[in-house]
Each structure stands twice: as C-alpha cells, then as structure tokens.
C-alpha cells in the first residue's frame, strides 16, 4: 500500500524531519525530506504519487503559502498540515487552500499514519463521493441555530471563551453546545469536525 507513493516531509527543523522520517520509514512508508517549503517547490514539478506532510510555521514560507503555491502551479498533492494548538485558525486556512487534514501537536504516531493512509486512499478514490457530503449535510441540518453559531466559531478556530464572548453566553454553555455538535456530527476529533464542515461548504466568512 505505502510502496505506491512517497511521503514528502516539509519542516525547517532537522530533528523533527528525522523523527518523522524514522517513524514513517519504520511503518513501511517511502519518505523524502525537504528542509523548507521553497526546497520542496523546487522539486515539486517532478513529483507524483505523493502525500505531503508539512509544518505550518516555517520561516521562508508558511504551510498555507506552500499549498497556495502548489495550487497556482497546478501541482496538486494531498496534504496534511501539522500545527500547534494556537494555530487552529491558520490550519483552517490551510484546509481551505486544499489540505485534507490537520494534526495538532503533540500527536500520537498512529494519528499521523492514519491521516497519511486516508490521504492516499482519497487520491485513489477521487473525489469525495456525493453520498458522503449528503450525509454530512444531513447532520448539519440537525443542528440548532445556537449549535450552528458555535460550530461557526469552532471552524474559525476561536477558543471557547471567544465564542462565548461573541454569543454573549458563558464558556460552560459553549462547552455544552460544542459537545452536542461533536455528537450530532459524529466527529471523532476537532480536525475531523472541521474537515466535515468545510467539505460540506460550512465555513465562516
């Protein structure tokens, strides 16, 4: 399965690159390392059958800028972005720019491996089946108006306190609505919830 494609790791920190390379190589993936977004772009024209794993915050070019550059060049590649907890709004922008998933640090090894395998399957399946979108839209329709407002804040990357301030409700009430949204949407995690919402066209302005 993993022999059919290469996982491209883009991160400006060498220890991180080596750590991810070791993990993925030991898991049976073919891996290629890139020390910066510009270095990856320089090689992108000749790359195919790959999955991109990129950090968001890099000095020369951010992960979002990298994805936008790939899109502009027509060099589409399924991408997974790795982000710190405070970078969720930026991660959402990356998904709007074409990333399939984002993973918050710190993460379990299995989370990254599962995300890579989903990305590879997504490429093989092309594109997301309409039935999947219809199921997500059906779940969205079951949300109350307040739950939709909370979801809008979540997709925008706002913390509970900010959502509570905007809606003039308590943070505890936001937590209750957020838990209800996760349940109704059948979301396994925050990235999964955001991915489903964006795939169905539910995105804040």
Residue 22 confidence (pLDDT): 94
Assess whether 58 and 6 both reside in one domain: yes
In this model, does residue 124 exceed pLDDT 70?
A: no
In this structure, of 28-32, 60-64, 85-89, the range with the lowest mean pLDDT score is 85-89
Assess whether 48 and 18 both reside in one domain: yes
Residues 6+ apart with CB under 8 A from 120: 1, 2, 4, 5, 51, 78
> Does residue 205 belong to any structural domain of this protein?
no
Assess whether 70 and 144 both reside in one domain: no
How many distinct structural domains can be found in the chain? 2
Query: What average pLDDT does this structure show over 187-191?
Result: 84
Residue 181 confidence (pLDDT): 94
Tell whether the torsion through CA atoms of 81, 85, 87 and 93 is positive or negative. Answer: positive
For 150-174, write each residue's pLDDT tens digit.
999 988 888 899 999 999 999 999 9
Domain of residue 168: give its range.
Answer: 130-199
Tokens 């905007």 appear where? Answer: 166
pTM over 0.85: no
For 138-148, write each residue's pLDDT tens digit.
999 999 999 99
Assess whether 92 and 112 both reside in one domain: yes
In this model, does residue 69 exceed pLDDT 70?
A: yes
Strand partners, 83: 104
Residue 53 φ/ψ, nearest 5 degrees: -120, 115
> Does residue 118 belong to any structural domain of this protein?
yes
Query: What average pLDDT does this structure show over 114-142?
Result: 76
Terminal-residue alpha carbon distance, the chain: 39
Residue 1 confidence (pLDDT): 44
Rounded distance between C-alpha atoms, residue 147 and residue 182, angstroms: 10
Rounded distance between C-alpha atoms, residue 45 and residue 82, angstroms: 23
Residue 171 confidence (pLDDT): 92
DSSP letters for 6-73: EEEEE-S-HHHHHHHHHHHHHTT-EEEEESSHHHHHHHHTT--SEEEEEES--SSS-HHHHHHHHHHH
Residue 122 confidence (pLDDT): 67
């Amino acid at each position: 399965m993993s022999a059919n494609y290469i996982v491209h790791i883009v991160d400006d920190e060498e220890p991180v690159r080596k750590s991810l390379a070791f993990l993925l190589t030991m898991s049976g993936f073919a891996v290629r390392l890139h020390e910066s977004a510009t270095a990856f772009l320089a090689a992108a024209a000749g790359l195919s059958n790959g999955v991109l794993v990129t950090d968001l915050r890099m000095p020369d070019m951010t992960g979002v800028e990298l994805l936008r550059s790939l899109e502009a060049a027509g060099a589409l590649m399924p991408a997974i972005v790795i982000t710190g907890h405070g970078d969720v709004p930026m991660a959402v922008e990356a998904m709007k720019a074409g990333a399939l998933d984002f993973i918050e640090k710190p993460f379990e090894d299995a989370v990254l491996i599962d995300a890579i395998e989903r990305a590879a399957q997504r490429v093989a399946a092309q594109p997301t089946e309409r039935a999947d979108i219809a199921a997500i839209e059906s779940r969205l329709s079951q949300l109350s108006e307040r739950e939709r407002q909370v979801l809008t804040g979540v997709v925008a990357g706002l913390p509970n306190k900010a959502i509570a301030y905007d809606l003039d409700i308590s943070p505890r009430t936001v937590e209750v609505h957020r838990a209800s949204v996760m349940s109704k949407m059948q979301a396994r995690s925050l990235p999964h919830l955001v991915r489903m919402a964006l795939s169905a066209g539910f995105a804040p302005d």
